[in-house]
């Protein structure tokens, strides 16, 4: 089997996916029409042309604008269903999906509308596609801690549908410490915690996420290599990093894929995983991310297996479900791959 085909068929786990970031321009236009929302773009091509970002904020501005077409429960269902059916064809077996309730509640869309639509798509995916999925509620860090606390309170009646809370949006100037009380409350309510840190922000933000927010995973975290003590801590605890290679390229976190530090993170013994972040905006879903890092960093089959294994280990799945995926991965890993 050729390496490309082997990567396509690799059983995958996705742990860093913003559902609003899976909104393809075609669906954006369809929902805009269905809901009578006016878009500032003349065509689908014009939307894609606007996607040339130079940092996180330049992306977020357009990403929040796109999300305005999401109004009804069915819109959230359609969005999640489109993502899930697409990644089912990429052999994604399990996914932990971020959603940003404040992006919607601030426009008058009830929290219940968002969660009900998403959850229904997840249930259908489990039944019809054989993909397991969980939801992670992200607080927008550019908004206040009070707004985050209010959002957490909105979520409490739907606690059984949300596995964890996270932190996303504009990183610089919004350190994790701003949300210590919100995360304390979330953990007391039984949620696991994760946080975006060390994407554009310094290693200190990763320390804060670990020590103050007591996270189970760091989202991105690629700047950890600037701090040897931090690397040691992450390595010893096997605390996972959900790395998003194509996202890092599009947002100029690295100058080129050949400059990406994924291979170094792996060599340092960290539990590093491959994910897509906002695939509709960054030019690729899970398979494209794996293919891009393999070819730019010349990753070996053993390294690719380790990345996929880390994804299973880092997931919030129960042990028996993890074991089934480890077994499937091991089976896949025994297949001979042609040297190129
Ligand atoms: N929201 C969606 N994608 C994000 C990213 N890469 N970083 C921070 N917030 C986000
Ligand atoms: Zn992200």
pLDDT in tens, 237-262: 999 999 999 999 999 999 999 999 99
Q: Atom 9, ligand 1: which residue's CA is nearest?
A: 169
Say what the pLDDT of residue 339 is: 73
In the predicted structure, residue 195 carries a pLDDT above the cut 90: yes
Q: What are the boundaries of each domain within the chain? A: 3-339
In the predicted structure, residue 292 carries a pLDDT above the cut 80: yes
Segment 13-29 mean pLDDT: 98
What CATH class does 3-339 carry? alpha beta
Active-site hit among 20, 24, 96, 199? 199
Distance of alpha carbon 145 from alpha carbon 166, whole angstroms: 13
Segment 80-91 mean pLDDT: 98
Q: Which atom of ligand 1 is nearest to the CA of 168?
A: 9
Ligand 1 and 169: CB distance under 6 A? yes
Q: Which ligand is nearest to the CA of 275?
A: 2
Our mutation pick for probing the ligand 1 site, out of 14, 15, 16, 18, counting the most ligand atoms within 8 A of Cβ, is: 18
Q: Which atom of ligand 1 is nearest to the CA of 18?
A: 2
73 flagged as catalytic: no
262 touches 243 (CB < 8 A):
yes
Q: Which ligand is nearest to the CA of 201?
A: 1
299 touches 289 (CB < 8 A):
no
Say what the pLDDT of residue 306 is: 98
Distance of alpha carbon 337 from alpha carbon 329, whole angstroms: 15
Q: Which atom of ligand 1 is nearest to the CA of 100?
A: 1
Beta-bridge mates of residue 97: 17, 135
Between the CA of 169 and the centroid of ligand 1 the distance, in Å, is 5
Between the CA of 226 and the centroid of ligand 1 the distance, in Å, is 21
In the predicted structure, residue 336 carries a pLDDT above the cut 90: no
* Residues 105-153: tens digit of each pLDDT: 999 999 999 999 999 999 999 999 999 999 999 999 999 999 999 999 9
Say what the pLDDT of residue 277 is: 98
In the predicted structure, residue 340 carries a pLDDT above the cut 90: no
Distance of alpha carbon 340 from alpha carbon 338, whole angstroms: 6
What would the 3-class secondary structure string for 155-206 be?
A: HHHHHHHCCEEEEECCCCCCCHHHHHHHHHHHHHCCCEEEEEECCCCCHHHH
Q: Can you spell out the DSSP letters for 122-144? A: HHHHHHHT--EEEEEEEEETTS-
* Residues 165-181: tens digit of each pLDDT: 999 999 999 999 999 99
0.75 exceeded by pTM: yes
153 touches 185 (CB < 8 A):
no
Between the CA of 334 and the centroid of ligand 2 the distance, in Å, is 32
Radius of gyration, CA atoms only, the chain: 19
Residues with Cβ–ion distance below 5 A, ligand 2: 277
Between the CA of 168 and the centroid of ligand 2 the distance, in Å, is 6
| Sheet hosting strand 164-168, strand order edge to edge | 12-18, 92-99, 132-140, 164-168, 192-197, 217-220, 241-243, 272-274
Say what the pLDDT of residue 318 is: 98
């Amino acid at each position: 089997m050729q390496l490309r085909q082997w990567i396509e068929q690799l059983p995958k786990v996705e742990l860093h996916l913003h559902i609003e970031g899976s909104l393809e321009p075609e669906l954006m236009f369809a929902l805009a029409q269905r809901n009578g929302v006016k878009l500032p773009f003349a065509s689908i091509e014009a939307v894609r042309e606007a996607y040339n970002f130079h940092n996180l904020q330049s992306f977020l501005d357009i990403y929040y604008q796109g999300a305005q077409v999401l109004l009804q429960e069915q819109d959230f269902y359609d969005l999640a269903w489109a993502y899930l059916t697409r990644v089912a064809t990429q052999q994604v077996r399990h996914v932990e999906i971020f959603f940003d309730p404040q992006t919607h509640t601030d426009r008058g869309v009830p929290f219940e509308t968002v969660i009900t639509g998403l959850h229904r798509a997840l249930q259908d995916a489990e039944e019809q596609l054989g993909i397991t999925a969980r939801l992670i509620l992200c607080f927008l860090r550019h908004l206040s801690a009070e707004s985050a606390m209010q959002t957490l309170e909105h979520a409490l009646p739907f606690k059984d549908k949300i596995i964890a809370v996270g932190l996303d949006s504009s990183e610089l100037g919004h350190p994790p410490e701003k949300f210590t009380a919100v995360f304390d409350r979330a953990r007391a309510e039984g949620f696991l915690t994760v946080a975006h840190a060390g994407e554009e922000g310094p290693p200190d933000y990763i320390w804060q996420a670990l020590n103050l927010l007591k996270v189970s995973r760091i989202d991105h975290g690629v700047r950890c290599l600037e701090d040897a003590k931090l690397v040691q801590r992450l390595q010893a605890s096997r605390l996972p990093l959900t790395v998003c290679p194509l996202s890092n390229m599009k947002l100029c976190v690295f100058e080129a894929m050949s400059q990406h530090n994924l291979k170094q993170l792996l060599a340092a013994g960290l539990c590093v995983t491959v994910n897509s972040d906002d695939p509709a905006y960054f030019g690729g879903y899970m398979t494209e991310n794996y293919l891009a890092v393999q070819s730019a960093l010349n990753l070996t089959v053993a390294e690719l297996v380790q990345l996929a294994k880390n994804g299973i280990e880092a997931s919030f799945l129960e042990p028996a479900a993890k074991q089934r995926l480890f077994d499937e991965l091991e089976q896949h890993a025994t297949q001979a791959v042609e040297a190129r």
